[in-house]
């Protein structure tokens, strides 16, 4: 852990490591109430109630993977919040691409292999402990050394890990160091509203682009179309079969690509 945070400029200079927590998101929230500084990080070897998006859980067994949350304080004039989790996805994917270039981002919050299997997930939660002090709790789970057999049956067909993609084991803290340095770089761009490079990087890493997808909306309906990149607010652009465009806001939408064409 120490070697990982020695390589950054400000993220993780204050850190807390736990053998086991319910969710690193909640530990950071508590720490902010007790004075955590911007960039503080909580990392755990295991989570008993790891959370994903849309009320899902995040499989968090010990000894294999990375589970951490960074406390980020938002400035007053930040870009649209919908772009933040996409930017974190780009940061994580770029860091992991130091080990393999067969790694991509999948709207909204996933980092996937070229087969579209999930390698990492991002959960950004807002927190406003006092008026005008808004924090983003940036939670990242990365499957590092977990093997196919370690996944439960329901995840095995859709999940993967860095070690499966690269056919070797990794030092988790070496991976963490790369991810934190990348987060630092991309956060700097985001908070200064310098997003040109981000749009370019997202476009290059966009696993969904040009694919037929089915989106599951919060009201229970589904919509099918061809993914055509993202808007400046971080919405997914879908071209519907009749040629019109529909924009999907992240949050409650889940997207799959196994659509019969």
- Under the criterion CB under 6 A, does residue 53 sit at the interface with ligand BTN? yes
Backbone angles phi, psi at 10, to 5 degrees: -140, -30
**What is the x/- site pattern for ligand BTN, positions 68-107, by CB under 6 A?**
xx--------------------------------------
- Under the criterion CB under 6 A, does residue 151 sit at the interface with ligand BTN? no
Using CB positions, name the residue nearest to ligand BTN: 121
Q: Looking at 22-30, 152-160, 169-177, 238-246, which segment touches ligand BTN (CB under 6 A)? A: 22-30
Name the β-bridge partners of 159.
118
- Under the criterion CB under 6 A, does residue 143 sit at the interface with ligand BTN? no
Contacts to ligand BTN from residues 179-218, by CB under 6 A = none
| Owner of token pair 């966009």 | 206
- Under the criterion CB under 6 A, does residue 51 sit at the interface with ligand BTN? yes
Residue 108: cis peptide before it, omega within 30 degrees of 0? yes
Q: Percent helix, strand, coil in the chain (nearest 5)?
A: 25, 30, 40
The residue (of 122 and 181) whose beta carbon lies closer to ligand BTN is 122
Q: Looking at 10-18, 52-60, 162-170, 233-241, which segment touches ligand BTN (CB under 6 A)? A: 52-60
Token pair of 38 as six digits: 């911007």
Query: Do 247 and 224 touch, CB atoms closer than 8 A?
Result: no
Query: Do 92 and 111 touch, CB atoms closer than 8 A?
Result: yes
The residue (of 67 and 198) whose beta carbon lies closer to ligand BTN is 67
Round to whole Å and give the CA distance between 230 and 183.
Answer: 21
3-state SS assignment for residue 41: strand
| Residues at the site binding ligand BTN, with contacts judged by CB under 6 A | 23-25, 47, 50-53, 56, 58, 67-69, 109-110, 121-123, 139-141
């Amino acid at each position: 852990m120490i070697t990982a945070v020695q390589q950054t400029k400000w993220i993780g200079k204050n850190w807390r490591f736990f053998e086991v927590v319910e969710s690193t998101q909640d530990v950071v929230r508590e720490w902010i109430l007790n004075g955590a500084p911007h960039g503080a990080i909580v990392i755990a070897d295991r989570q008993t109630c790891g959370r994903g998006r849309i009320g899902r859980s995040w499989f968090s067994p010990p000894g294999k993977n990375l589970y951490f949350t960074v406390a980020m304080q938002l400035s007053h004039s930040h870009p649209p919040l919908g772009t933040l989790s996409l930017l974190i996805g780009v940061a994580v994917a770029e860091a992991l691409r130091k080990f393999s270039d067969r790694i991509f981002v999948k709207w909204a919050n996933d980092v996937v292999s070229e087969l579209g299997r999930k390698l990492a997930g991002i959960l950004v939660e807002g927190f406003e402990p006092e008026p005008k002090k808004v924090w983003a709790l940036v939670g990242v789970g990365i499957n590092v050394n977990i093997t196919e057999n370690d996944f439960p049956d329901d995840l095995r067909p859709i999940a993967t890990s860095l070690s499966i993609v690269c056919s070797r084991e990794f030092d988790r803290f070496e991976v963490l160091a790369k991810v934190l340095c990348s987060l630092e770089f991309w956060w700097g761009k985001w908070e200064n509203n310098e997003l040109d490079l981000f749009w370019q990087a997202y476009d290059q890493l966009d696993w969904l682009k040009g694919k037929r997808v089915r989106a599951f909306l919060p009201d229970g309906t589904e919509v099918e179309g061809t993914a055509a990149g993202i808007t400046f607010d971080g919405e997914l652009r879908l071209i519907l079969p009749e040629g019109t465009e529909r924009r999907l806001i992240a949050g409650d939408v889940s997207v799959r690509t196994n659509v019969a064409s």
